[in-house]
Amino acid sequence: MQKELSKRPSNDLSNLVIRFSGDSGDGMQLTGMQFSDTSAMMGNDIATFPNYPAEIRAPQGSKYGVSGFQVQISDKDIFSPGDELDLLVAMNPAALKANIGDLAPGKTLLVDSDAFSEKFLKKSGYRSNPLEDGSLDAYRLIAVPMTKNTQKALEDFDMDRKAKFRSKNMYTLGIVYWMYGRDLDHTIEFLEQKFEKKPLIKEANQLVLRAGNIYAQNLELIATHYQVRPASLEKGHYRIIRGSQAIAWGLVAAAQKAEMELFFGSYPITPASDILNELVKYPELSVKAFQAEDEIAAVSSAIGSSFAGDLGVTSTSGPGLALKGEAIGLAMMIELPLVIINAQRGGPSTGMPTKTEQSDLLQALYGRNGESPIIVVAAHSPSHCFDMAFEAARLSIEHMTPVLLLSDGFIGNGSEPWLIKKLEDLPTIRKNVAQDPENWTPYTRDKDTLVRQWAVPGMKGFEHRVGGLEKHEKTGNVNMVPLNHEAMTKIRAEKVKRVENNIPALRVHGVQSGPLLVVGWGGTFGALFTACKEIREEGQEIAHAHFDYINPFPKNSAEVFSAFKTILVCELNAGQLVKQFRSSFPKMNFIQYNKIQGLPFTNGELKNKFMSILSSGEDL
């Protein structure tokens, strides 16, 4: 289904941040997704941030069962789900309690007044009803008896109370759609397909959606009716893509581009599971998604598949990456393509599985025995996940070495518009396939890249053995000679170093030199970019550089750094990239800004920090 939208002019709000929150059973993720998809289809740029609890279904109304979905929509390119909420939707007291702190006075609050029963109030720790005790006076409170209205709308439907209750989120969505001038079409159609085989449920949801919409239209209470006009995104054919889906698709694209089959060995773990959940859908695209018995088997099967000529990929999150270290070392040693995707989550140990964090960088770089360099790259937004998954595969195949792609729960679960790429739009991937068995040994290398020539089973005359023991520089036979080991160790390091010739230069957003360079990596891109842009718009000199490539660093990194007086490295960890910088660029001076709360940076805290540095003028 493709729609054509022209940008319709409007002089309303230029961007809008909404957070839907409720019980994990309230369907807030779906509601939020619908709202953002609809907005994207209407031409807005969007950025989303789901934030869900560790429990599958926590008891109804409990604090730790609160599930949230935040979306920013805009008429300009945006890069983060925003942090100043315009609207907070709270389906019950627990959701209100958990989220009200993020709503500034004067902003709008939409609640289901039916959910503020004594029982639920108590469960969430309220002594009196905030809808009545005046404590919400600072907000534009819109209290709607959504539960009752939903039940009423469905009076004539032959369904039990529980089933009816479940469509309440559509009532909420109907209200919100009216508030922000969104079309119902997309969601109506979505329901059409989703419940194709359950016509009763389909009709009920569609009816409730319209009922909410009409209710809002008719009700005087709703005073503000904003409309966000389409964004100035590049023209073209779009779709909404989630980060983990984008990773999956990037891998599929790379395999097809390289004319290989994609072998994906994985073991479920939050938040990486979604990549596996996505890839299992595509056997028809020659995707072999193999759910292994554990992480070690997952990465090992991927290595085996690479040895036999597939594009071997594995995915995991922090604790799983810890288990894969030894096998990654093997892949590095035998110099085979292998892509490892690590969707980071809050650590250490089991940590905070559903929260986001950037604390696996050092593990990615060093979590193996011996001198074991591999390529490390990072994705910085949901749609960028596509590019970097493709890129990880490209580098791995072209350089015959493992590539570790860092993503995180924030961008993996987030979604945004993606300008559709077809195979012909993507760069070529050059495989180093051995040609001539006479002049070949397993470690025959390209003079420039130091990449060895690949020979896979089935290629006559290329029979050979590889393994984890040190091997002779030329023949590849097991070899324990001291100087050979030193030579091989250096070759392995140099091979990865030279990847810098095959990756783009580091880009600086904003001024190319000046008082302050903000540096980040991974999922903080949107927040850092936006904060810097806004500061520039306020007339200050500030620049932002984002490291998508971490090992090796882009060639021009030192040059970029040297053009700025202060370099501030912002990370959602205790300072991991900055550690790398300090050891790799020992003559330079780095300061750091860290947040370790399982949450993304907010625009406000970043701007505060940046401004305070800019205004101090000190050489830090």
Ligand X SMILES: Cc1ncc(C[n+]2csc(CCOP(=O)(O)OP(=O)(O)O)c2C)c(N)n1
Residue 233: CB minimum distance to another protein, A: 6
Task: Round to whole Å and give the CA distance between 201 and 514.
Answer: 60
Contacting ligand X within 322-361 (CB under 6 A) = 323
Task: Round to whole Å and give the CA distance between 218 and 220.
Answer: 7
Strand (E) or helix (H) holding 142 = strand 140-144
Q: Compare residues 1 and 56 and give the one whose CB is closer to ligand SF4.
A: 56
If binding is defined by CB under 6 A, does position 412 make contact with ligand X?
A: no
CB proximity list for 49: less than 8 A, separation 6 or greater: 69, 70, 71, 81, 410, 413, 414, 600
94, 170, 252, 535: which one binds another protein (CB under 8 A): 252
Choose among another protein, ligand SF4, a second copy, none what residue 558 binds, the Cβ cut-off being 5 to 8 Å by kind. none
CB proximity list for 242: less than 8 A, separation 6 or greater: 274, 382, 412, 413, 414, 415
212, 243, 268, 520: which one binds ligand X (CB under 6 A): 268
Contacting another protein within 303-322 (CB under 8 A) = 303-310, 312, 319
Residue 236: CB minimum distance to another protein, A: 6
Dihedral-angle region of residue 320 (phi above 0 means left; psi in -120 to 50 means alpha; beta otherwise): alpha
The answer to whether the CB of 170 falls within 8 A of the CB of 209 is yes
| Cα angle, residue 522 at apex, residues 519 and 523 outer, rounded to 5° | 110
Residue 55: CB minimum distance to ligand SF4, A: 8
b/e map 462-492, b = 16+ CB within 10 Å: bebebeeebbbbeebeeeeeeeeeeebeebb
Name the residue with the smallest CB distance to ligand SF4.
56
Contacting ligand X within 279-298 (CB under 6 A) = 295
Residue 66: CB minimum distance to a second copy, A: 10
Residue 267: CB minimum distance to ligand X, A: 6
Q: Compare residues 54 and 466 and give the one whose CB is closer to ligand SF4.
A: 54
Residue 56: CB minimum distance to ligand SF4, A: 4
Residue 133: CB minimum distance to another protein, A: 25
Strand partners, 417: 240
**Binding-site size, ligand X (CB under 6 A):** 7
Residue 25: CB minimum distance to ligand SF4, A: 11
Please give the single-letter amino acid code of residue 401: T
16, 298, 568, 578: which one binds another protein (CB under 8 A): 298
Contacting another protein within 366-425 (CB under 8 A) = 420-423
Helix axes 525-537, 603-616, angle to 10 degrees: 50
125, 199, 236, 427: which one binds another protein (CB under 8 A): 236
145, 181, 304, 319: which one binds ligand X (CB under 6 A): 319
Residue 582 CA from chain centroid, whole number: 27
If binding is defined by CB under 8 A, does position 294 make contact with another protein?
A: yes
HSE value, Cβ hemisphere, 13 Å, CA-based, for 201: 15
Q: Compare residues 255 and 535 and give the one whose CB is closer to another protein.
A: 255
Q: Compare residues 57 and 122 and give the one whose CB is closer to ligand SF4.
A: 57
28, 269, 488, 567: which one binds ligand X (CB under 6 A): 269
Q: Compare residues 213 and 413 and give the one whose CB is closer to a second copy.
A: 413
Tell me the two tokens of residue 554.
């882009």
Using the contact rule CB under 6 A, the part of the chain among 117-125, 265-273, 435-443, 583-591 near ligand X is 265-273
Residue 372: CB minimum distance to ligand X, A: 14
Choose among another protein, a second copy, ligand SF4, none what residue 589 binds, the Cβ cut-off being 5 to 8 Å by kind. a second copy
Q: Which of 306, 310, 378 is nearest to 341 (CA)?
A: 378
Total number of residues shown for the chain: 620
Using the contact rule CB under 6 A, the part of the chain among 68-76, 262-270, 424-432, 544-552 near ligand X is 262-270
- The full 3-state SS of 570-615, as one line of letters, equals EECCCCCHHHHHHHHCCCCCEEEEECCCCCCCCHHHHHHHHHHHHH
Residue ranges in contact with a second copy by CB under 8 A: 53-54, 64, 296, 317-319, 321-323, 325-326, 329-330, 332-334, 346-355, 357, 359-360, 362-363, 365-372, 467-470, 480, 482-483, 485-486, 489-490, 492-493, 573-574, 578-580, 582-583, 586, 589-590, 595-599
Residue 45: CB minimum distance to a second copy, A: 27
Residue ranges in contact with ligand SF4 by CB under 6 A: 56-57
Residue 258: CB minimum distance to a second copy, A: 25
The answer to whether the CB of 601 falls within 8 A of the CB of 518 is no
If binding is defined by CB under 8 A, does position 163 make contact with another protein?
A: no
The answer to whether the CB of 534 falls within 8 A of the CB of 542 is no
Please give the single-letter amino acid code of residue 437: P
309, 312, 320, 402: which one binds ligand X (CB under 6 A): 320
| Cα angle, residue 415 at apex, residues 509 and 60 outer, rounded to 5° | 135
Task: Round to whole Å and give the CA distance between 202 and 200.
Answer: 5
49, 290, 443, 529: which one binds another protein (CB under 8 A): 290
Place of tokens 């059409």: 192
Choose among another protein, a second copy, ligand X, none what residue 282 binds, the Cβ cut-off being 5 to 8 Å by kind. another protein
Using the contact rule CB under 8 A, the part of the chain among 176-184, 197-205, 206-214, 465-473 near another protein is 465-473
Residue 303 CA from chain centroid, whole number: 25
Strand partners, 592: 569
CB proximity list for 402: less than 8 A, separation 6 or greater: 328, 331, 332, 336, 337, 338, 339, 340, 374, 375, 396
Using the contact rule CB under 6 A, the part of the chain among 23-31, 316-324, 361-369, 612-620 near ligand X is 316-324
Contacts with another protein, 332-371, as mask; x by CB under 8 A: --x--------------xx---------------------
Q: Which of 345, 417, 391, 412 is nearest to 572 (CA)?
A: 345
Residue 292: CB minimum distance to ligand X, A: 11
125, 199, 283, 427: which one binds another protein (CB under 8 A): 283
Task: Round to whole Å and give the CA distance between 356 and 26.
Answer: 22
The answer to whether the CB of 66 falls within 8 A of the CB of 431 is no
Q: Compare residues 59 and 125 and give the one whose CB is closer to ligand SF4.
A: 59
**Residue 349: C-alpha distances to residues 268, 345, 437 (Å):** 16, 10, 48
Using the contact rule CB under 8 A, the part of the chain among 76-84, 135-143, 175-183, 249-257 near another protein is 249-257
The Cβ of residue 185 has, within 10 Å, a number of other Cβ atoms equal to 12
**Binding-site size, another protein (CB under 8 A):** 104
**Residue 502: C-alpha distances to residues 166, 234, 396, 429 (Å):** 52, 27, 11, 12
